[in-house]
A and B are shown apart, each in its own frame.
Chain A
Amino acid sequence: MDTWLSNGFARSLTLGFMIACVCVGTAHAQAPSTCLDCHAALDPPLQVTQAQFSQDIHAQKGLTCASCHGGDPTKADMDAMSKAAGFRGKIQRNQIPELCGHCHSDGAFMRKYNPSLRTDQLAQYRTSVHGKRLLQGDTKVAVCIDCHGVHDLRPASDSRSKISPLNVAETCSRCHSDAKYMQGYGIPTDQYAKYKSSVHHEAMTVRGDLSAPTCSTCHGNHGATPPGVDSVRNVCANCHVFQAQMYDKSTHKPAFQSAGLPGCVVCHGNHDVSFPTDAKLGTGPEAVCMRCHKPGDTCDQARAKMLLDLTQLDNAFKSADRVLTAAESSGMEVSGARTEQDQARDSLTKARVTIHSFQTELVEQDIQEGLKITAKTQAEGQAALAERDRRRRGLGLSLGIILAVLLGLRLYIRQIENNSHNVETAELHR
């Protein structure tokens, strides 16, 4: 096969023939394909059912089995698999990228189907770890069909597709979490497990945020390669812009660069990025600063100051929240203060972003902004509670007056009924 394809003439012949098949296939998009007549009844791995293939996007666009495998789909039985008609049988794994690329890298061709589809997948693939290793003869690495599927290939927008954002991590993990399969490559196999514990995974699966990062977001899909030490910051910065900008201006950037440390990952991890709490700035097990810095040095002091500020605002926020909840549960209306609390929370979020500048004065600024707001909401909550107490005192007063009236009436009734005799008064209270 290899020699056949290395011959330029043979190649163009095959290509020409395949294109002809495609044209024929397209023209006869609804024409019966005899291949499935037998192959639907066979056992895997030869089995391809009509149900499967009807889901395939290539089939829906009018391609047939012969488009990739060659042969003559109009003939019945084994005649269909004639070598004369260009039948290739099972495609070798190391030829799959080229096979797919024949169409998918051809801009003029792909334009006929979807002009906005990219056509650089094969070129990207060749830069990837998978692509490079495939060229060296490693057929265990992923090729097109491993991720995209083959006979029931769905577009990425289909949520059942193996490459839909919701499913990408699982698709990658089929190899990358299989310790036996990955033996000899010298890379860990716990990425998927770690990713599942991350806040990015939670965003996607729990909050349904399809824009949350998955494996391909940071590693690339066709050009899948772990980001280099220098480029981690760039990758994260695609979404986390402010943090990256502050990091750039901070002392950590040159320090990490000269130490060959991969930026964000040092403190936040890569696959198991967890929701960052203020404990990261602390001294406990989650603390990151003290992994490098020494207790008592200026950085430690800065850390302590930032943590103090954050805790202060957090406490102020929670305290105001408690007062407002108490006011609300006694029936006072404090929706205005609640809105301002949202702004205070935004200040806290902003301050936590500003940490990445590693300058206490900047963090302090954001904290002070927030504290001004929480002071206001706290006061509003207290005012609501005071108003509630005022109302209750007013109620007490009016109840007192009512009691006085009731008592007065009682006595008055007694008085007039004991004295007057012009009416028979039957005691209503016995």
Chain B
Amino acid sequence: MVADSNPQSKPARRRIIQVLLGGGLLGSFASFIYPVLRYLVPPPVAELGGDQVIAGKIAELKPNSAKIFRFGSRPGLLIRNSDGSYRALSATCTHLGCIVQYHGDVQEIWCACHNGFYDLNGRNVSGPPPRPLEVYEVHLQGDDVLVSRKREA
């Protein structure tokens, strides 16, 4: 840039620099503060949804029935036993990954894809599945049925 030689342009140049610098600094501070302020506001959904989810409401299931719920990125099966208690397992069949279902009449878990059967403890009792289903812990909290993975040390 050319050095200041023209006295008349001095005030004008000064103004430009003032605006540029002042406005720029102000603008940059705003562009830092604005995200920080938005960040500080807690999002509406507070739950992480990782190792623990609300699988449903207490009154939702009748005894001896079940529903599929979402657990992280995989499906889970929440079963309400005939005596009113709950149990929850992974709903991903260990054979080829299909979603299993609950058969109340025989109180077994069945996979429609290749006719695999599991007992209520998740153990694979008949058909192709090579491994048992993972069993989750169920807790009741107020109105909610909470399902969580078994705790590690």
Contact = CB atoms under 8 A, between A and B. Distances in A.
Contacts, number: 79
Interface stretch (B24-32, B80-88, B145-153): B24-32
Nearest to A397: B31
Contacts of A398: 28, 31
Given A210-B130, A405-B21, A241 B95 contact: no
A346 B99 contact: yes
B14 A415 contact: yes
A409 interface: yes
B24 A338 contact: no
30 contacts: A209-B128, A209-B130, A211-B95, A211-B114, A211-B127, A238-B115, A239-B127, A241-B112, A241-B114, A335-B73, A346-B98, A346-B99, A398-B31, A401-B28, A402-B24, A402-B28, A405-B24, A405-B27, A408-B20, A408-B22, A408-B23, A408-B25, A411-B1, A411-B16, A411-B17, A411-B20, A412-B21, A415-B4, A418-B3, A418-B4
A398 B128 CA distance: 58
B62 interface: no
A329 interface: no
Nearest to B21: A408
* Centre residue among A210, A401, A402 by max chain B CB count within 10 A: A401
Interface string A396-417: 0110011011011101101100
B103 interface: no
A398 B22 CA distance: 15
A404 B24 contact: yes
A240 interface: yes
Interface of A: 209-212, 238-242, 335-336, 338-339, 346, 349, 397-398, 401-402, 404-405, 407-409, 411-412, 414-415, 418-419
Interface string B98-111: 11000000000000
A405 B17 CA distance: 10
Given A405-B28, A408-B20, A415-B13, A211 B128 contact: yes
Nearest to B27: A401
A167 B24 CA distance: 77
A409 B21 contact: yes
Contact of A408 (B24, B73, B113, B115): B24
Nearest to B70: A339
A235 to B, nearest CB: 13
A317 to B, nearest CB: 16
A62 to B, nearest CB: 33
A204 B150 CA distance: 32
B17 A239 contact: no
Given A398-B31, A411-B1, A404 B114 contact: no
Nearest to A410: B1
Contacts of B130: 209-211
B68 to A, nearest CB: 10
Given A212-B128, A240-B114, A241-B115, 18 more contacts: A209-B128, A211-B95, A336-B73, A338-B73, A339-B73, A346-B99, A349-B98, A398-B28, A398-B31, A402-B24, A404-B20, A404-B23, A407-B20, A408-B21, A411-B16, A412-B17, A414-B3, A415-B14
Contact of A415 (B17, B27, B95): B17
Contacts of B99: 346
Contacts of B129: 211
Interface string B12-49: 01101100111111011001000000000000000000
Contacts of A238: 115
Contacts of B113: 242
Nearest to A350: B112
Contacts of B112: 241-242
Contacts of B96: 209
Contacts of A411: 1, 13, 16-17, 20-21
